[in-house]
Amino acid sequence: MAAAVVLIVSAASAIAQDSVAMKLDVVAWGADIPGLTFKAGGKGEPITALAFRYSKPVNYSGAALLQIHQDPAAAAEATEGSQNTAPIPAELAKLRATDPTVVALAKLPAGSRRATVLIAPAQAGTYQTFVIDDDPSKLPYGKLRVHNYSPFKIAVRCNGKEGMEMKTKDSFLAEPKDGKVIYELAYDKQGAWKRQENNLIPVGEEEQVQFIVLKSDADFFTSSDGSRGGFLQTVVLRRPAKEEAQAP
C-alpha cells in the first residue's frame, strides 16, 4: 500500500513539473507574425508577435512544452524565402504529421512567472524559438541582461569593465552605473576581433531590460535609404515592474 502511495505521489509530482502558469511575451524575429494561437484550430484569442518588441502579454497555463499554432497557408507565406537553415525538431515534425497547424514548440522554464519567446521564421512553414526566463529571480529589476543570439563569438564590455567573451546563446547580467550601461561590442571575424560599436543603454530601477545581439536581414533594421547600421544587429526589450504585479 505504501509503495502505491509513493507511486501516486511521484506521478503527481511529474505532472506538476510538466505544467506551468505564467505570463508570456511572444516577440517576432523579423516581420510581425499575426494569427498565432496556443491551441489547435485557431481556438483561443489570436496573438500577433511584433517585430523585435513587446506587445500585450498573454496569460498561459498548461504544458511546459508550448505548442504554437498558425494557419498552414499563413505560416508558409511568412516563412517563404527564410534563410534560417535550422532543422525542424523531430518532435515538431511528428506533431505536424497529424496536425499541420503546429508551427513551433517552445520549452518553457519550470517555476517561472514570466518568459519571453522569440520566434523566428525557419523552414517549410515552421518557426524556430528561443526562450528567455524573465522571472525576477533570474533578471532582477534595474539590471540589464546581455544575450548573444548571433552565430558569431562576440565580446561585450560594460561600463569600462573587463570584456565578456560570449558564444552563441551565452548571456550575462550587467550592473548599471548611474542608471545606464555604456557598452562596447566587438565580434570575431576570422580569428580577429572587429569592433562594431559603443553606445549607451538607460536602465530604470523599476524595469527589466534585455540587450540582444543577433544577425538579421529583417527590414526592421534597414533605414529609409536602404542602409544598415552594422554587421551585427542589436535589440533592446524593456518591461516595467508594474506588469509583473499583474502576473497570474
For residues 9 and 127, state if they share a domain: yes
What are the pLDDT digits (tens) for 116-150?
999 999 999 999 999 999 999 989 999 999 999 99
Chain centre distance of CA 30: 12
For residues 17 and 118, state if they share a domain: yes
What are the pLDDT digits (tens) for 187-237?
999 999 999 999 999 999 999 999 999 998 888 787 665 556 689 999 999
The pLDDT of residue 4 is above 60: no
For residues 9 and 41, state if they share a domain: yes
Residue 111 near residue 71 (C-beta atoms within 8 A): no
In whole angstroms, give the CA distance from residue 168 to residue 157. Answer: 17
Q: What is the predicted pLDDT for the residue at 44?
A: 78
Specify the DSSP element, H or E, that contains 3. helix 2-17
The pLDDT of residue 8 is above 50: no
For residues 60 and 105, state if they share a domain: yes
Question: Could you list the residue range(s) of the whole structural domain that residue 215 is in?
Answer: 144-244
Q: pLDDT band for 151, please (50, 70, 90 cuts).
A: very high
Rounded to two decimals, the pTM is: 0.85
In a domain, 139, yes or no: no
In whole angstroms, give the CA distance from residue 29 to residue 119. Answer: 6
Q: Per DSSP, which regions of the chain are E strands? A: 19-28, 33-36, 47-51, 58-63, 65-69, 102-107, 114-121, 127-133, 144-148, 154-158, 164-166, 171-174, 180-189, 192-202, 207-214, 233-240
Contacts of 148 (CB under 8 A, 6+ apart): 154, 156, 166, 167, 168, 169, 170, 171, 213
Residue 106 near residue 157 (C-beta atoms within 8 A): no
User: Which of 102, 133, 164 is the C-terminal boundary of a domain?
Assistant: 133
In the chain, the number of structural domains is 2
In a domain, 138, yes or no: no
In a domain, 221, yes or no: yes
User: Which of 101, 133, 165 is the C-terminal boundary of a domain?
Assistant: 133
For residues 99 and 7, state if they share a domain: yes
For residues 200 and 128, state if they share a domain: no
What are the pLDDT digits (tens) for 35-89?
999 987 777 789 999 999 998 899 999 999 999 999 999 999 999 988 888 889 9
Q: What is the predicted pLDDT for the residue at 40?
A: 77
What are the pLDDT digits (tens) for 99-114?
999 999 999 999 999 9
